[in-house]
Structure 1
Amino acid sequence: MSIPAHKEEVSCPITGTNEVEHLLNFPQFPVFQHPMSVNAELDQVRVALDFYYSPVSGHCFQAEYSEELLEKLYSSHYYTPAEGSIGETFRKYFISVLPQYLDKHPKKGEGLNVLEVGSSDGEMLSDLDAFLSDATFLGFEPNSLTSKKSEEKGFEVRDAFFTAETVRGIDTKYDMIFSRHVVEHIPDQTDFFNAAAKVAAPGAYLIHETPCLDWFIKEGKLDPFHVEHIHVFSKASIQALAKKNGWLMVGLELSEAGNMIGFFQKESEAPNALPDILPPNAFNLDKIRGQKQRWLDALSSASEGKELYLWGAGSFGLTVGSLLDGQFEAYLDSNKNKEGLQYAGLNKSIKHGPSLLESRKQDQDKIVIAISSTFSVEIETAIRATGWQGEVIALANI
């Protein structure tokens, strides 16, 4: 995977402009964002990543990527979602903003046909099933391991990517088509919007939840910048992308964690579309560029003479682990399904976090736990609930 040597060769995928600037470089970023068996046979485990930013569109993107590699990741090496309450806060927020929009739908939120793109193991579908009256559901999930878990919960799932081709033959029209942390992964956006149009009922909402670049620029956070995210959308750029493909933004919500939820309707069915949103202020781009060093400085200071563990074996944790170049003890995670696995190319084992806390209670003053996850509040609450008094650092707050 080569990266264009000069920014003149790079153009924004939203507007086509070549008025872009280089934002971030990760010279040796691990390809596989999810842990796997130490015996997994893999061809390529690290790649150079370059992210660019267009001040015209307010869009951030990878200049070059391997679509074949990404499809292989999502189909074969995408890990089972976390157990327990991890992610519950995000799901609750998503549900909390729905009524103000669904109440305006012709069906008033009753008897809706709902389609989720990237339905994973059915966590969100289960929550919606409890929230919506008499709804019917369909999921699209290309990873067979997680789609089977969703089917076991009683949901119909298509084991496929959501494309104009894979929706052929679907007779049902859907009132609500949504994705959560999917749109930033999609190479062919035009095909995605076309697929949604093919299965949309009159007045349907297309809903995308995705990291909000405006928020991450303001906060100087690196969370959404990794190999799987070929796009990092701003409010302006996701609105412009949808408009280019015949969908207008009719609502936008922003969570405390920096995720935006955009509501869209077909151009002919959106009389109350929002006015065009301006791109984010780019003055804080240097704050993002400096995040890597802020993390390293904080971890170096806190862990001097102590054992350092990273709690959070996900994409955030992999970013931090790669920056540390393996200079920490191990990953911790509450999901027992991850125990004993490791990241390809990083060679750090994953230990069950609660078990380690129990076995090392006498060493609390010798250990520093750095939470390398966006679910930092939930994780720290769970750690403290065990009685652990040792130092805990939430990297999301640095």
Structure 2
Amino acid sequence: MSVRQCPVCGGEELVDCLTWNRLPVFVNVTAKTEKEALQAPTGQLSIVQCTKCGFVFNAAFEPERVAYCQGYHAERGDSVVYRTHLDNVCRLIQKTIPMKQGTALEVGCGTGEFLRVLEPCVGQQLSLLGVDPSVQPHQDGRIRFDSYLFDKAHLPQIPSDLVLLISRHMIEHVVNPLEMLRLFACALPDNGVLYLETPRLDWILEQGAFFDFGYEHCAYFTDDFMRRLLAAAGFQILAWKTSYENQYFSIFATRCPSTPCGAGASMAPAPHNELLRAQEGFSCVKEAYQYARANFIPSPDVCIWGCAQKGVVWLNLFDPQQQCCVVDVNPYKQGKFILGTGHRILAPRELKNRPPKAVFVMNKIYLDEIKAVVSELFPGQFIYFYVVEENIKVLDS
């Protein structure tokens, strides 16, 4: 059932941007068997834009269907490229935030991949705490993990010496991001800092990356909307950067001391030109989808490399009959099956048994890394590398 009111500002005039009828509810959950994967729950994607505040969201999203529990694996640390990104973020934190005694809390920490990278960077000054409903409560060295969903009921559990609140790739899963950011502001003391990392809708629209719209991500943020959203939540921006080759926001912000807990300014209306710019971007996204649909032919000789959101959405849209082979470097996913299609996920070494003629790279940032792995597996053999976001941009010419 679609919601026809903006969760952020209550606006009722919504513009339809993109609709797909059937996508798996999860992209970072895998199945143990093909049958289980094919029977996995699916949901509708109905991306709309509020013409009052500019919020872009999935109006058909049903949060009760997305219960995060053990078995959710979004790790990418086995990639040198992604590990470099995590290292860069840690350096940003060291540069931006004066290190002092206290606690750093990551909300939606998953299996703790980022906290383990951060631990050696902060020395003994910071205690590290990760909370996530999918994790088992335990202590891992100086990192403590608690199993709960960050909400108002859990604010009393937040350490009083909180120095840094980290939210990485969590807020795009939240129906009302303004409400969540105001909770973050409540959790932080006056001198506490929020580090916020989430995908940039501007990058997605610029690339025509239709395969970046999955069911789990119910909220999307343009640069303009994000600035107004943080202001409405009662935050002042300390540092505004993009990372991961402009795909992500990397924002540092602090709570405005004059703003009462849980309050903030009203959400400023969206500039008309920003509304139009996003709508034009979605027109390009739909054109890119139609181009790919007309030109992509699934084949046993084709390898799709990457089984996070981009790859899972692509396969569900274009290869439900499991023609292509699928590879991911995440060991938690290898040997498992993709929800919705039932593709078995191979480790790179398993390609030896079925050499591909073409490798579809679902994210250009990994191209050189993937080429190196494939060249080692098949020395001297010509294999075509198809960078998806570059090839669908032939529409620009």
TM class, shorter-chain normalised?
0.7 to 0.9
* Matches for 1:1-398 after TM superposition, within 5 Å: 2-3=1-2, 10-33=4-27, 34-38=29-33, 40=36, 45-70=41-66, 72=67, 74-79=68-73, 81-82=75-76, 84-85=78-79, 87-102=82-97, 108-133=98-123, 134-144=125-135, 151-152=139-140, 154-189=142-177, 191-255=179-243, 256-268=245-257, 279=274, 281-282=277-278, 283-300=280-297, 307-327=301-321, 328-356=323-351, 358-360=352-354, 363=355, 367-373=357-363, 376-377=366-367, 378-386=369-377, 387=379, 389-398=382-391
- Report how far residue 374 of structure 1 moved: 6.5
Q: Deviation per CA, 1:347-388: give whole Å up to 9, x if none.
A: 2211222221x334xx55xx2221234753333443334436
- Report how far residue 191 of structure 1 moved: 4.9
CA distance in 2, matches of 1:173, 1:202: 11
- Opposite residue 25 of structure 1, the aligned amino acid is T
CA distance in 1, matches of 2:129, 2:189: 14
The answer (yes or no) to whether the contact 1:183–1:210 under 8 Å persists in 2 is yes
Report the identity percentage: 20
TM-score, normalised relative to structure 1: 0.82
Local SS of the residue matching 1:253 = strand
Q: 1:313 to 1:44 in 2, by over 3 A?
A: closer
Local SS of the residue matching 2:210 = coil
CA distance in 1, matches of 2:256, 2:353: 59
Structure 2 unaligned residues grouped into runs of 5+: 260-267, 392-397
Q: 1:395 to 1:226 in 2, by over 3 A?
A: same
The answer (yes or no) to whether the contact 1:239–1:248 under 8 Å persists in 2 is no
- Report how far residue 83 of structure 1 moved: 5.0
- Opposite residue 143 of structure 1, the aligned amino acid is S
Q: 1:299 to 1:90 in 2, by over 3 A?
A: farther
The answer (yes or no) to whether the contact 1:175–1:202 under 8 Å persists in 2 is no
- Report how far residue 187 of structure 1 moved: 2.6
CA distance in 1, matches of 2:210, 2:199: 11
CA distance in 1, matches of 2:373, 2:295: 23
RMSD: 2.9
CA distance in 1, matches of 2:141, 2:213: 32
- Report how far residue 230 of structure 1 moved: 0.9
- Opposite residue 85 of structure 1, the aligned amino acid is S
The answer (yes or no) to whether the contact 1:249–1:265 under 8 Å persists in 2 is yes
Q: Deviation per CA, 1:210-263: give whole Å up to 9, x if none.
A: 111122222222353110111011122223223223223333111214111222
TM-score, normalised relative to structure 2: 0.82
- Opposite residue 344 of structure 2, the aligned amino acid is S
Q: 1:314 to 1:119 in 2, by over 3 A?
A: same
The aligned counterpart of 1:105 is none
- Opposite residue 294 of structure 1, the aligned amino acid is Y
Q: Deviation per CA, 1:45-83: give whole Å up to 9, x if none.
A: 22221101235433210113211111x2x1245226245
- Opposite residue 173 of structure 1, the aligned amino acid is D
Structure 1 unaligned residues grouped into runs of 5+: 5-9, 103-107, 271-275
Q: 1:191 to 1:15 in 2, by over 3 A?
A: closer
Q: 1:397 to 1:231 in 2, by over 3 A?
A: same
CA distance in 1, matches of 2:314, 2:221: 22
CA distance in 2, matches of 1:78, 1:170: 24
CA distance in 2, matches of 1:254, 1:41: 35
CA distance in 2, matches of 1:62, 1:379: 32
> Which protein, 1 or 2, shows the higher relative CO under an 8 Å CA cutoff with sep ≥ 6?
2
CA distance in 2, matches of 1:389, 1:115: 47
CA distance in 2, matches of 1:153, 1:299: 48
CA distance in 1, matches of 2:233, 2:286: 32
Local SS of the residue matching 1:144 = coil
- Report how far residue 164 of structure 1 moved: 1.9
Local SS of the residue matching 1:393 = strand
- Report how far residue 100 of structure 1 moved: 4.6
